[in-house]
Amino acid sequence: MYINQGRPTGWIEVICGPMFSGKTEELIRRLRLAQIAKQKVEIFKPSVDNRYSSEHIASHNDQRFTCTPVTEASKILELIGDHTRVVGIDEAQFFDKTIVTVCQKLANRGLRVIAAGLDQDYLGAPFGPMPELLAVAESILKLKAICMVCGGLAGRSQRLTRETSQVVVGASERYEARCRACFDPDMGASAEQPLFSPEPASSKK
Ligand code: ADP
Ligand code: MG
């Protein structure tokens, strides 16, 4: 934590880590504090993330916050209200690199931008625009989950199915948190059958 004694300015905070590490919980916590202080808050997420609800961001322990789903990052600039002080963005990894420009523009206008997203995909590779967002952010929090195999600190999201697209939306029916030692990016690909049969989208959590 540092105290800025210079000119008033906006900034970018990034909350990253694997699935189940509490990114959305932490995002909701920060947004609620801002609301208590009567700051106008707006939250956006990519409409591809339709788990739980399309009008909410939701954590795996079922905390929720109303949001606006957008098909592309540039819509955030069109939709943002004049009096908004704090902008929350969840699942930032699903946007293209325009999200970096959008966050920069908002911060340059004096807004506080808080973006949460997966830093790594199911192969352990940097996910979409996250590396660039992390590079331009003023503040970064890299969270860990608990490894479902050994109980260590988990920084990776293990996909449990054979699906090979980078973007496959799901929760514990498709993914689990793993540490570096227990993470196996080839696990789904080498299985004869799906390790788990994902349920239809409507019943996903
Ligand atoms: P994220 O947004 O990073 O996916 P969430 O904020 O949605 O994470 O959910 C965090 C919650 O997930 C935890 O508080 C806990 O209840 C639950 N959870 C499920 N599996 C794990 C795990 N392996 N390690 C830690 N938390 C887990
Ligand atoms: Mg989340």
pLDDT digits (tens, 9 = 90+) for 76-96: 999 999 999 999 999 999 999
CA distance to 6, 162, 183, 198, per residue, from 192 (Å): 60, 9, 19, 16
Catalytic residue among 13, 26, 91, 176, which?
Answer: 91
CB 124 within 8 A of CB 181: no
Question: Amino acid letter at 37?
Answer: A
Closest CA to 95 of 143, 155, 167: 167
pLDDT band at residue 5 under the 50/70/90 scheme = confident
Query: Is the CB of residue 10 less than 8 Å from the CB of residue 108?
Result: yes
Which residues are near ligand 2, the ion (C-beta closer than 5 Å)? 23-24
pLDDT category at 203 given cuts 50, 70, 90 is very low
Range from 3-7, 62-66, 94-98 that averages highest in pLDDT? 94-98
Residue 114: its pLDDT value, please? 98
Mean pLDDT confidence for 149-161: 97
How far is 205 from 197, CA to CA, in rounded Å? Answer: 14
Span 177-190, average pLDDT: 87
pLDDT, residue 195, reads 53
Residue 26 falls in which region: left (phi positive, over 0), alpha (psi -120 to 50) or beta: alpha
List the domain boundaries for the chain.
11-144
Res 202: pLDDT: 43
> How distant, in Å, are the alpha carbons of 53, 110, 137, 176 from that of 145?
23, 33, 22, 9
Least confident window among 10-19, 41-50, 107-116: 41-50
Question: Which residues surround ligand 1 with Cβ inside 6 Å?
Answer: 17, 19-25, 59-61, 145-146, 148, 177
Rounded to two decimals, what is the model's pTM?
A: 0.91
pLDDT value at residue 196: 54
Is beta strand 41-46 parallel, antiparallel or unpaired with respect to 11-17?
unpaired
Q: Whose CA is nearest to atom 25 of ligand 1?
A: 145
In whole angstroms, give the CA distance from residue 59 to residue 137.
Answer: 23
- Specify the CATH number for 11-144; select among 3.40.50.300, 3.30.1130.10, 3.50.50.60, 3.30.70.420: 3.40.50.300
Among the atoms of ligand 1, which is closest to the Cα of residue 177? Answer: 23
Round the average pLDDT of the chain to a whole number and report it: 91
